[in-house]
Structure 1
Amino acid sequence: MTPLKIYRVGGAVRDRLLGLAAGDQDWVVVGSTPEAMLARGFVAVGQDFPVFLHPHSHEEYALARTERKSGLGYRGFVCHASPEVTLEDDLARRDLTVNAMAEDDQGRLIDPWGGERDLHERLLRHVGPAFAEDPVRILRLARFAARFSDFRIAPETMQLCRQMVDAGEVDALVPERVWQELSRGLMTAKPSRMFEVLRDCGALKRLLPEVDQLFGVAQRADYHPEIDTGVHVLMVLDMAAQLGASLGVRLACLCHDLGKGTTPADVLPRHTGHEGRSAALLQPLLKGLRVPTELIQLADLVAREHGNIHRSTELSPEAIVRLLGRCDAWRRPERFAETLLACECDARGRGGDFSRHDYPQRRTLGQALALLQSLDQAAIVAEARARGAEGPAIARALDQARAAALSQAAAQHPPKV
């Protein structure tokens, strides 16, 4: 058989030049056909264009292809793969110059669009006008801006994104694709940058109008020196990244204050009751994006209870027991721990010196839950039943025993002044 012309392409080349750890390897095969790939033992997996799994490494190998726009959205393409498609043709269809480089089997760089130069200049720049044909590229640009936060975006690339938004391209994106890119952007070291880029080009208003509406909404300066609610949410996101939070916590941070965008102007900068409004807004938003149910549940819990958790150091033992019950902390202690982390991010993701503040609520509520989980609940239930208690009365007896345990612990270890 004639040797295949195989090139390493895309992110693996970019990251090697940046000195970053290698991730997934992407390969392009030039001058071959699907039949020839199958004859060599490759396994076909692509539906929209020819992609194959290597018989041994199981890495993806795609035939060099071109794309032609055929409709709105990222699915509106006709792909063409044939032996006549060159490597340069394939690289020309890619989004950013830093992602449009390749290496041959000798490690030689093929860089027809100046990606290496743009890496040195810390610049995110589109390859060519074909960028405008795929609205997913706006999301990818924003995600790369968050991942490589010291890179700037070329003005002409941002202008092209604005034109795409004005043309209605982002309105054709399917929810699953939006969530896929948002979730990856949330997990970067500076997720705020993704939302700044989306807002700058107008895409945030189309994709996440509830988030976009937060910008320009005032908060009390004594609690929020940054004042602007949208700015606060981005600061909370970056605090979540700084603390190594999970995707669920970061999503909860993004959505925890959505209700502030609906506060009547005549009561600003106060936001009484925004917790319930936030929960009501995030449910249709996240369900519409096809976000996993467990992540929606965590975001809902943080939205509803973050104010109460912030005030928990002032609550009575009985109120703390009720709070833990509303959070279903007895059955879902891991989710409660994530809820507390999201609340710490909220408390510290503010202007002034709030980022350096301690957040004792996370520690004390965690300790309270641990204490109450150590109670002999079976004995408490048995004693209540011996007194003739049934149903709700047994639940009340459990809560009374939990509150008594918290009161006793507080008396033995009073808070330090």
Structure 2
Amino acid sequence: MSDRLAYFFRADRYLRYNIDSDSVDVGPTEISRFWPALPEEFQSDLDATINWGDGHAYFFKDDRYLRYNIGSDSVDVGPTEISRFWPALPAEFQSDLDATVNWGDGHAYFFKGDRYLRYNIKSDSVDVGPTEVSRFWPALPEEFQSKLDTTINWGDGHAYFFKDDRYLRYNIGSDSVDVGPTEISRFWPALPEEFQSDLDAIVNWSEVWSWEKFSLDQRLLYVMERLVDHYGYPVNGAAGLLGNLVAESGVIPPRVEGSSADTPMRSKNFAGVVVDHEADDIMNRNPAQNVGPALPGIGLAQWTSGGRRAGLFTHPFGGGGLGARAVFNMDAQIDYLDTELRHHFSGVRAVLMGTTVTVNDACDEVLYNFEVPGSILQGGTKLPRSDARVQQVFAQRRPSAQRAANVYRAAHP
């Protein structure tokens, strides 16, 4: 299942929170009961946890940490001293952390006392701080500028900060607090009373920002499950859509046109130099100012034209546009894709939603009336479906669509 999940830890107990259903679906119960891979020292009183977005999560306690492989459900590094493998962290941040959060834009934040630092995940270095939280987080009320209990990126453009029995919701796109501070019990009624104060750690287990580090089949399964289980597409219709996403982006959200799958944000700029583009530059691409990649395509569907491309960054996912962070967000891009089909390509969607549609027919429809690549155009006009050149592109994309259907059906026999 592709349900988005978060784990809440307090003392020696935990619960699993289903983000999609807004409910607790496991626990509360002892950490030791369902986390046997965690060494005993990490089965209570955690300091912080963070999903690195690459298939690994990190657990911190005192001056030690471990790395957890989410896919294999096992510890693959540690436990060992933080100082051993995190030399970029200043000494004051190598023990007794208060909170950590992956901001979803290539950076992670570490909090301790009234100070914080920003960690650049790609360069494996600290690029801001350490400095006082109050200095660069003026939107946080004073009570949340020191001694946090835990923080979490919910994956919908919001982050939550918890302290004692209170919390606030932070809108990442607008850089502002849009809910709270208020009591946890007020807006988190699904949490049992024991988890409505003094939390140790929370981790978004479904958080992935580096999709290029996952296999194609893993990416296919994730998107298929979202389309089928959460948006109601039949398997064949969803697979037809995926067959085209494979051809366009390799199903890698931050993929820019002209890049390779393993370096999805690296391509030529307007000077013809191959560089790693920043998300802000991708969003604000401007030929006149030589900002961003030379080619316009971005995202799962390689959105290219002005209005559709701009719509990705302003699409109201989770209550507001994600801005440049939409580059990394798979769920937001899937939602935008479905919104486009609902409101602007209803004919294509009707074909995909048909109960008798075949994988090949769904794939062909998306290609011909949604993606419309240059390979099926002549003089800016679509060639007829019967044209040999169009048939050739149909044939190229159909195997990927069938692969998507097979991956889904193998996981859901």
Please report the TM-score for the alignment, with normalisation by the length of structure 1.
0.26
More helix by share: 1
Does 1 or 2 have the higher relative contact order (CA < 8 Å, sep 6+)?
A: 2
Larger Rg: 1
More strand by share: 2
